[in-house]
Structure 1
């Protein structure tokens, strides 16, 4: 297991307008933006509060993507025993401090608390930012179960031959999944010249995925497997790998591997890049209840989509940061065996197996990340864990 550490904040892949056609099944359709000139992928990190609040719930109006129909059989989320008044008050205080738009708390698959703010409501969708990374990871597991990916120890070039001759030569699928490729990368959300701010604006080479085009510009800084650096591009590569292996767009594959078995009640929107592929590292949009359904699906093992025990591995620390924190296969890991999906500006699905607990939160943080916001989030989780003890 990887022990050395290089910590980088966050979670994001920016979105771009895709124009390439794609094959469409009856449950998917290409979505073109209503206001394509009103948003630029380079500007998402620097939108003001009002713009974020409006656009986070309508990203499909500004960016191209793929719409996926809700499940034919919706998973019901019955009401459970409400949290106590004192706990609800504390939770509401954290939500205000975090500028959260909504929270849903499930225990034993039942709703113990649900609240909405910032004009958001149960029927709306909110963007996920890097919560999408954990969706892509789950589709990786599905591709392994389907036999489309033989082994996580395979070289990524087996599934993405266009990476041959780049810094990703000799890197395994598992090393990309754990972000330990050794390839240099800058994920500074405050720097408009960082890799994360630029990679989805590069003009793709004709016939080539945009993420591969950008990967060609990168260099290696350490041997594969020895250093962890958070890189949104690598989830893009992981998504491309799954698309190549399965022959389906991520959104299409997600329809029958996540949306249907998890019983999503609403339609899903997943952004596409300039070369027409779904952005593996960002920008699924769902209702709050469907983020919670995703968490419940994962908590219960993700069957029948992924191998038995997949989340025991994917949701455990393949890279250790210290203090019980770490990183798995595109899942963040926390003390006590807990793990979750995280996106900048405050999007979360947190899974607490010992309590059979799922917490889904969507937010409009005043900044992409921040120590005070992280502290409030952790206090929120602890409050809910304490309140749901047997």
Structure 2
């Protein structure tokens, strides 16, 4: 396994020379996911002036814990060594019981979370819903009337929270002509090689004209849904997304470090996948959820919204390829529900990002990775098996 790409910039020892169009892909992602601010424009998510919320420790040796995934046996130690992990943190009963840094990552390193960002935005939506600033039953066009001319006409805020809008959006990561390729360019991550493509993310949203099914009929994973939600949040609160996350979530929960979002050419903070933070601050986010939205005596997220996220999903809308990893799963409020019995839930991102939250066990695990593949059913099943094994051992 290569820790950083083999080529170096002779003017900056230790820094690899990275192809512009491939900076977020293997093998370059082993370095770039920890150095996103060196690759693309970003905007700060201020941690605020208050003290960091405490994360007490009760460290335990978990490396020898054994588990089985798809008939292959392993241990947590081998999983970390061979699975392209950059960081692992485990919370149990409010304490850090394991904290590991790999591949040059440190406690102060900001790591790209990819689509874990969606759950950050979803949690922000829950806060604004609790404040009465956002109505999940309202049409998207109530907040964004410009979308009356798009396929989002008739969709509700809850539809985009659950990714059930029915709007055609090709999420194929490796196709050069997919909507996802257009989003990569529109958000500023890649060069816009096709002059007909949208100039920025809002421009891309305005271009979506087709429906594949009626709104609310089924779940389809569409990254652009989170961006539609983000624009609605900004409009409802009259505040930019990064500032909203800072004021409503990051500072109140007592983050230790500033976070950041990547920004597109129009200055929009990329809600669907551009969020970067430290391992311990992702853990504080997980702990906030374990505590039902309250941390250190501060009510930050409505308890009703968190309970609704866990118990309000409709599993009949969830199927197809999504059952390969979560055969009893569901999706709701920008979170993956592991199964509709236990109701553990997750934030997940491509290339192996995971925040696993199990309130019943008072347990959470955060894994930050830089896989060689965008998605891997085998690697995801292995990560979940490893997490469950740690949970059961504790």
Tell me if both proteins adopt one fold, taking TM over 0.5 as the criterion: yes
Which residue matches 1:54? 31
Residue 385 (str. 1) matches residue 385 (str. 2): no
Residue 253 (str. 1) matches residue 257 (str. 2): no
Output the CA distance in 1 between the equivalents of 2:387 and 2:206: 37
Output the CA distance in 1 between the equivalents of 2:113 and 2:351: 9
| Alignment coverage as a number of residue pairs | 347
Worse-superposed segment, 312-321 or 240-249: 312-321
**Structure 1 alignment gaps of length 5 or more:** 1-34
Output the CA distance in 2 between the equivalents of 1:373 and 1:231: 21
Output the CA distance in 2 between the equivalents of 1:232 and 1:61: 24
Aligned pair partner of 2:307 in 286, 299, 312: 312
Please show how residues 266-345 of structure 1 align to structure 2 within 5 Å. 266-303=257-294, 304-316=299-311, 318-320=313-315, 321=318, 323-335=327-339, 336-345=342-351
Which residue matches 2:234? 243
Residue 117 (str. 1) matches residue 102 (str. 2): yes
Give the 3-state SS of the residue equivalent to 1:262 in structure 2. Answer: coil
Whether the 8 Å CA contact 2:168–2:208 is kept in 1: the answer is: no
Residue 372 (str. 1) matches residue 378 (str. 2): yes
How far does residue 316 in structure 1 lie from its aligned partner after superposition? Answer: 4.0
Aligned pair partner of 2:53 in 75, 78, 81: 75
Which residue matches 1:86? 64
Please show how residues 135-174 of structure 1 align to structure 2 within 5 Å. 135-149=120-134, 151-174=135-158
Output the CA distance in 2 between the equivalents of 1:101 and 1:288: 10
Residue 101 (str. 1) matches residue 79 (str. 2): no
Whether the 8 Å CA contact 2:346–2:356 is kept in 1: the answer is: yes
Residue 43 (str. 1) matches residue 34 (str. 2): no
Output the CA distance in 2 between the equivalents of 1:159 and 1:39: 39
Whether the 8 Å CA contact 1:130–1:344 is kept in 2: the answer is: yes
Which residue matches 1:184? 168
How far does residue 324 in structure 1 lie from its aligned partner after superposition? Answer: 2.3
Whether the 8 Å CA contact 2:205–2:228 is kept in 1: the answer is: no
Residue 66 (str. 1) matches residue 43 (str. 2): yes
The Cα RMSD (Å) is 2.3
Whether the 8 Å CA contact 1:98–1:346 is kept in 2: the answer is: no
How far does residue 217 in structure 1 lie from its aligned partner after superposition? Answer: 3.4
Whether the 8 Å CA contact 1:317–1:326 is kept in 2: the answer is: no
Output the CA distance in 2 between the equivalents of 1:85 and 1:38: 34
Change (3 A) 1:85 1:359: closer
Q: Given the two structures, how large is their TM-score scaled by the length of structure 2? A: 0.82
How far does residue 131 in structure 1 lie from its aligned partner after superposition? Answer: 0.3
Q: Deviations over 1:241-271 (max 9, x none)?
A: 1011101111111112211222111110111
Output the CA distance in 1 between the equivalents of 2:169 and 2:311: 24
How far does residue 44 in structure 1 lie from its aligned partner after superposition? Answer: 4.7
Output the CA distance in 2 between the equivalents of 1:342 and 1:317: 19
Change (3 A) 1:338 1:67: same
Output the CA distance in 2 between the equivalents of 1:66 and 1:141: 23
Whether the 8 Å CA contact 1:144–1:306 is kept in 2: the answer is: no
Which residue matches 1:4? none
Change (3 A) 1:106 1:196: same
